[in-house]
Amino acid sequence: MDKLSAMGTFVRVVESGSFSAVADEIRTTQSAVSKQVAALEKALGTKLLVRTTRSLALTEEGERYFEQARRLVAEIAEAESGLITGEGQLRGWIRVAASVGFGRLKLMPLVRSFMAAHPDVKIDLRLNDGFIDLVEQGIDVSVRIGELRDSGLIARRIGTSHRMLLASRDYLRSLPKGIRAPVNPQDLQAHDCIVYTGMFNSNVWTFTAGAGASESKGTIKSIRVEGHIKTNSSEVQRSAVTTGMGIGFSPTWLFDAELAKGDVVRLMPDWESPQSPIHLVSPPERKHSAKVRAFVAHIAATLT
């Protein structure tokens, strides 16, 4: 038995809470993962995990061993990466998470350029518009848009996401007689609004009056919107806006190409919309190896 390998497998089983998840992660069978942990328990002469059909729980000895093993595995990985003297020699997997839209439009070109510079690095890119538990999924670095609720994360701010009211020219051309493009928040009640449900109070849109607005500068107005479509997918939201299904309240980076071509236009420019910070975050338990540090620096240098 390779004790260090078994120790690393045990740590990931505890972090993910699943033998099958770790098997998928390291591309082996669930049985092989179970046997590795069992062999570690036999070598240590103690039970580390209590397994039932639905859950895993650490024994008292397992809790103590887990904390020590996690630190040791991280320190060994860090020591090994420190032996690599040239950037071109970076190698191994980096697990990266992001929302679907940001991952496809913004992150993928940077992943491509990073891998071109470091051909021995492999990227496991996991795109999901929902919440991802970084520890459970074994994520090295994740892109988070919005205020960070978990202050325990290691975070590096890399930019700002600007939200704007957007619609396609096709949608505006198809408006019924007597319905104008919105110039004030209350005008939105006459429009089909595409609601992105991935946000808190998703159907309440808030704006602040700018210098050219009809209200006093700084006036904040919130409006409850409705429409024929709502979605938890940024890609569906993008498609609904570009195909003229309604008005979206979206990050501008989701529509950079369409805005540049003029196919999608900004509405209510005299009313300012909320801005959200963009961070690269990692769980504190996962020390950054040389390859992860290089990847973070590459992303930050381009997006900051």
**Residue 282's CB: how many other CB atoms inside 10 A?**
20
In this structure, what token pair is assigned to residue 79? 């020591």
What type of residue sits at position 91?
R
- CA-to-CA dists, residue 57 to 50, 60, 66, 72, 180, angstroms: 5, 10, 12, 21, 60
Q: What is the pLDDT along the chain (304 residues), one digit of tens a residue?
A: 688 888 888 888 888 888 888 888 788 888 888 888 888 888 888 888 887 666 788 888 888 888 888 878 777 766 665 555 454 478 888 989 999 999 999 999 999 999 999 998 989 999 999 888 887 777 889 999 988 876 678 899 999 999 999 999 999 999 999 999 999 999 999 999 999 998 878 999 999 999 888 899 999 999 999 999 999 999 999 999 999 999 999 999 999 999 999 999 999 999 999 899 999 998 876 656 788 889 999 999 988 7
43 shares its domain with 190: no
* Domain-ending residue, one of 82, 114, 137: 82
Q: Please, are residues 199 and 222 in contact by the beta-carbon 8 Å criterion?
A: no
Residues 101 and 17 in one domain: no
Together in a domain, 265 and 295: no
**175, 101: one domain:** no
Q: What's the CA gap between 255 and 251, in Å, rounded?
A: 8
Paired sense of beta strands 220-224 and 92-98, if any: unpaired
In this structure, are 186 and 267 located in the same domain?
yes
Token readout for 108 is 């993928």
Q: Structural domain tally of the chain?
A: 3
User: Which residues lie below 8 Å from residue 24, measured CB to CB, with a gap of 6+?
Assistant: none
- CATH code of 192's domain: 3.40.190.290
CA distance 220 to 206: 7
Residue-number span of the structural domain to which 95 is assigned: 87-159+277-303
- The CATH number that applies at residue 51 is 1.10.10.10
Give pLDDT tens digits for 155-198.
Answer: 999 999 999 999 999 999 999 999 999 999 999 999 999 999 98
CATH assignment at residue 130? 3.40.190.10
215 and 197 fall within a common domain: yes
